[in-house]
Structure 1
């Protein structure tokens, strides 16, 4: 006799209990087994769970059905409902934040060039000019103005330039300002947040892959 197939899997993780829903069976079968599971599950006090529908898209009504069932038959409460599915809006947002936006121009004093994702400036960033990006910033020219990479809070971002002589570099909430005295710039450098010192540091571009190996993904996206 073949074993009965189960469509609900409950796992304890370091983030709490995750209830995985099979994404191949009908929703009605899923609800029936979920009801049986939560009725027989033992929990002491109110327990928060994450419901993960894997590759199944759940409508608002289906989400309500799951929430009502769990609330009615158990002491559990749903912390969130997760999935691998992206809505059209989420996919557009993901694409927007993970693509390289290139421009051929000089960013002059008073100008602000702002992009979602990675910024590639083919030209100079003059003193008083600013480049803002949610991702990395690459300047194929002289960076003498302000560059703020990862301005949504991503400290893994970098600022790279053919000639590095900025008035200010920001990565997430870290700030590095130019010294009050005159210094010469340096060719082919990048700035990054050192995780040990939690400060912005400079290094030669040939060391970029070693310090930020995941930047290869950026190049494969078309930089």
Structure 2
């Protein structure tokens, strides 16, 4: 008598159930076994709808396959998918992620009326003059004077930050947060950073050292500098 390998493993959690789908079988095989298990374990109509977390391992679902999966976990069967997690992504998505995560190094002065826009993190070797503007979907590092406008996390990343060797900006923006220059004359500050403080619900300018505590991403920049 041969043991039949289980293609679907279901584990109960406090939040609901976690479903593991064997990555070596075909999708149709997994769905057939899943359908039988769900029908046999369907909660009664007077019980709460069960939240389901699906773990695919090294399997990628096409759009139609995901639709088929969601049809099984529906309100009629008293289940609801909370998340679908996979250890793999499409090649196109991977290439896009790599491109967006790269540090873009630019060696120039951003003069009045000029706008420098970058996908990913920006390392600018040079100044941003009054009237100049730098925009990035990631973090902004300026090895020079920031007199103009800097906008980090332009796509909505509130964890982004702005670093400058000398910071006296006309305006700082991070995601949808805005911080203008003070009305009074300021001398500016050296080696400071701008970031969103969630408790104060605003952009603050603080010592560069706070990044190692408040933004773990700074270690990526440190490694890039050390490794060249």
Shorter-chain TM-score category?
0.7 to 0.9
- Residue 108 of structure 1 corresponds to 111
The alignment's C-alpha RMSD in Å is 2.7
1:33 equivalent to 2:33? Answer yes
**Is the CA contact 1:35–1:70 (under 8 Å) kept in the aligned structure 2?**
no
Separation of aligned partners in 2, 1:219 and 1:8? 43
TM-score, with length taken from structure 2: 0.83
Counterparts in 2 of 1:198 and 1:60: CA distance versus 1, 3 Å: closer
- Residue 169 of structure 1 corresponds to 172
Separation of aligned partners in 2, 1:84 and 1:135? 24
1:125 equivalent to 2:132? Answer no
TM-score, with length taken from structure 1: 0.85
- Residue 220 of structure 1 corresponds to 223
Q: Which of 142-151 and 76-85 deviates more?
A: 76-85
Unpaired runs of 5+ in structure 1? none
Q: How many equivalent residue pairs?
A: 222
- Residue 87 of structure 1 corresponds to 90
Counterparts in 2 of 1:221 and 1:36: CA distance versus 1, 3 Å: farther
For residues 142-166 of structure 1, what are the alpha-carbon distances to aligned partners after superposition, in whole Å with 9 as ceiling and x for unaligned? 0000011111222211100011010
- Residue 19 of structure 1 corresponds to 19
Separation of aligned partners in 2, 1:14 and 1:95? 36
**Is the CA contact 2:57–2:86 (under 8 Å) kept in the aligned structure 1?**
yes
Unpaired runs of 5+ in structure 2? none
Counterparts in 2 of 1:95 and 1:202: CA distance versus 1, 3 Å: same
Give the CA deviation at 1:91: 0.7
Give the 3-state SS of the residue equivalent to 1:206 in structure 2.
helix
Separation of aligned partners in 2, 1:133 and 1:75? 44
Counterparts in 2 of 1:135 and 1:44: CA distance versus 1, 3 Å: farther
Counterparts in 2 of 1:68 and 1:211: CA distance versus 1, 3 Å: closer
Separation of aligned partners in 2, 1:141 and 1:124? 5
- Residue 156 of structure 2 corresponds to 153
Give the CA deviation at 1:4: 5.1
Separation of aligned partners in 2, 1:61 and 1:204? 50
Q: Which of 205-214 and 1-10 deviates more?
A: 1-10
Give the CA deviation at 1:112: 1.0
